[in-house]
């Protein structure tokens, strides 16, 4: 009888050790899974960041090129306006003076 109780106590201790190891194994697997998931998240984050950078570079160039073309077009049009001003300045002044001088006051 005493021997049977001793065997039951040893079996209970053994079962407790098995349950404890099982819990530790489960906790470790959860930690490993969490760590692996975190690594995958970081990799995906880096991949998406790189895709965004590549996207920005792709369209940044075209935007810069558009700005350059627009500035060149504006400069060209500004020069044309200045040339027309220089070309027609004397004629406009002459017409203004002619109109002012030819004005007859009426009462």
What per-residue confidence (pLDDT) applies to 34? 94
What per-residue confidence (pLDDT) applies to 103? 72
| Cα atoms in the 13 Å half-sphere on the side-chain side of 7 | 4
What per-residue confidence (pLDDT) applies to 61? 64
pTM confidence score: 0.45
Where b means 16+ CB within 10 Å and e means fewer, 74-92 reads: eeeeeeeeeeeeeeeeeee
DSSP 4-25: HHHHHHHHHHHHHHHHHHHHHH
Per-residue pLDDT tens listing for the chain (107 residues):
789 899 999 999 999 999 999 999 999 999 999 999 999 999 999 999 999 998 888 777 666 777 888 899 999 999 999 999 999 999 988 888 888 887 777 76
Rounded Cα gap, residues 44 and 52, in angstroms: 12
What per-residue confidence (pLDDT) applies to 62? 66
């Amino acid at each position: 009888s005493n021997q049977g109780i001793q065997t039951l106590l040893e079996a209970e201790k053994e079962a407790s050790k098995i349950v404890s190891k099982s819990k530790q194994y489960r906790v470790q697997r959860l930690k490993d899974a969490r760590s692996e998931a975190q690594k995958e998240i970081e990799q995906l984050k880096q991949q998406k960041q790189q895709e965004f950078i590549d996207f920005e570079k792709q369209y940044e160039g075209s935007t810069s090129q558009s700005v350059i073309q627009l500035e060149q077009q504006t400069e060209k049009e500004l020069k044309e306006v200045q040339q027309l001003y220089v070309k027609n300045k004397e004629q406009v002044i002459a017409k203004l003076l002619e109109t002012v001088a030819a004005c007859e006051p009426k009462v």
